[in-house]
Chain A
């Protein structure tokens, strides 16, 4: 069982990982109302789309509860990586020797986990970001993220009336932002995309919650 596995290896994990896991033991039986929950919208900029080979260059995240996003509680990390792919620079603008202050991967993991705690994570095409982070965690001998995930790409489709819904269509963040009238600033920086994702999420939530009967099961990635 997973618990045995955790228990057995516990000593070999760094403290922050244990603290991260501990946050999931609290509040377990007490799911809060959606409007009071702290959410973290995050995005990663990577050297490419291959989870094994590519690396995370930057993680951006914003937190919000209710409909208020707190600027002073946002996260913006730039990572030192050996892998570098010049062809992706034009997308994310992160150069090998950029001006940003960079930290090591393990340091980034620690900061990120301390930041997200057990909050619900929101990302656009969440599986990709989730897999990228999980891969990074496993490189350092850590387990997978335990957080609940919401994918705005999937969630959006639920907000479209069944008649117009095309279940095979993949919406890009740009399309969603345009559709929902979210200002496109700082697109393709991790934090900028995280903010756009947060706003997209809030707007979708507004559409879904017209009848005020939203529940968690409906929001989560299945």
Chain B
């Protein structure tokens, strides 16, 4: 008998995984046996602890909330499924009671799919099971899939990852720095300073914790003159200390700190003051575990003693980046924070490398970031581009000095690579002899590029003109900048070359309003957002700002904003360029996070219509700015 409803169910199911990979006959067979369930808002389909149903479910209309209830009856939303999402798949995978409660988030219609029939049909279908297992395993909130499918419930989704972390065992410092009861405060303070720590535990002869001295104790009791510096620690310390046992969770630790209004928790063997001190949990440790706070990440970076720690910290920045993008925090703000983190990571990597060197640097030097990190536009891990300037030395010492810095650079680039910044494919790194030079050599190098512009010179200078100091002696870089700008004043040809370079990529839309995509190679049919959309804007901004002799602004959107200030009659164009750049950068970053790469190449068919329109809107200013450059630098006959 004909069954129109089954056909309608079939029409819906066939568009959604895993049903889209089933054979038509099989799917129709399943569709015939589906039940349609109507749920009012807040109706419960199954509860945590219920024995499993004979069905699993797909949302037809509305949305179903799956939440977890803890022993205190606190509900935590794990997932919100909407039209086309499956849920309640636990019985399919494991015949056990429901672990979550499913409730209608709004008035909903749900298809209940009988498990026995579904299994009979899909028995040997590996891809179906792969999908189901994945769906089951990622039942926790997953920002990737949420964003990919364009279903973001940012407005009512709590950050569940943080809640899960809260119940981890706290990661306290295992070898706390201590002093004994007879020490003087000065001795204690010296120890604190040596180990770069903010607190020291005073222990008795059995290493039971007796008291604690923190930076603020020293500030409040010594610096104010209340006690002399040689006073015994017992006069200064806060006693008794609050203790806890080894296996406390982060949440417990945090609670204790709030309760007692303290920043440090002593971990002892049995959790009381009368047992051996085994560690200290600081407020900082708690924050680090809970993560996602830029100042915490920065602190963690500054304290890192090993490259591995730096990598962990930098990876946290990626999580931070993701959540910022989700929260729609202005990209200019995100860029500032992430660049700060990148710079700090680099600086710390240099400090660590310096310690490994047999001796301190013979002369002062400056570590420059060039390219995107120099422009402070690097959001994701990309290639490292860097260079060293060192102070001029006598000819006699030159070789030795250069060798020292090359060695140093090798160590730094190696650890940066470990952290996640790939080696530069064009070898533009301070560890190469061309990019590790004395100040005078650099001045000559730039002069050469400026006065003899050719393809290669332009390519290199376009990268090197976006430099910023990350570590070391700033005055070296300033001096170089002055010299460069002086040379620029005498050369108009150089600007023409830069201008030609800026125009080498035409606006990304073709005659028929089609995106220009890569025509061959591995990236065939992909849209290169970097070279087609970002680079033209970056190049244009650099050229304009250099031609105005403005130093110290390296960031593309800031350059355009500065231009808007200088040339009020072109204000709108410059502002739209600045806006377009930010939007494109955000786009690239999101794509990069999504596909876990640099986001440079975009598969156009994965974009929604809306996204494509947004992209296209950004291209208009590119075309206009290129027209402007053409006229201003008289490039028509120069191309």
Contact = CB atoms under 8 A, between A and B. Distances in A.
Interface of A: 60, 62, 67-72, 74, 76, 78, 100-101, 181, 183, 185-186, 189, 191-192, 195, 199, 202-203, 206
Interface string B26-42: 00000111111111100
Q: Which of A69, A71, A100, A185 has the most CB of B within 10 A?
A: A71
A189 B34 CA distance: 20
A203 B61 CA distance: 13
A67 B38 contact: yes
A198 to B, nearest CB: 8
B33 A72 contact: yes
A198 B2 CA distance: 19
B36 A71 contact: yes
B37 A74 contact: no
Interface stretch (B5-13, B263-271, B337-345): B5-13
Contacts of B35: 68-71
Tell me if B's interface is mostly helix, strand, loop or mixed. Answer: mixed
Contact of A191 (B5, B31, B33): B5
Contacts of A62: 5
Contacts, number: 69
Contacts of A191: 3-5
Contact of B2 (A69, A101, A199): A101
A39 to B, nearest CB: 12
Contacts of A181: 61, 107
Contact of B4 (A60, A69, A199, A203): A60
Interface of B: 1-6, 8-9, 31-40, 43, 61, 107, 109, 112
Given A68-B36, A69-B35, A69-B36, A195 B5 contact: yes
B43 A67 contact: yes
B293 to A, nearest CB: 42
A101 B34 CA distance: 24
Contact of A71 (B1, B6, B39, B43): B6
Q: What are the 9 closest A-B residue pairs judged by CB atoms, nearest first?
A: A69-B36, A202-B38, A191-B4, A206-B40, A67-B38, A71-B34, A68-B37, A68-B35, A72-B33
Contacts of B3: 71-72, 74, 76, 191
A5 B592 CA distance: 81
B40 A71 contact: no
Contacts of B43: 67
B107 A192 contact: no
24 contacts: A69-B35, A69-B36, A69-B38, A71-B5, A72-B6, A72-B33, A72-B34, A74-B3, A74-B5, A76-B1, A78-B2, A181-B61, A186-B4, A186-B8, A189-B4, A191-B4, A192-B5, A195-B5, A195-B36, A199-B38, A199-B109, A202-B38, A206-B38, A206-B40
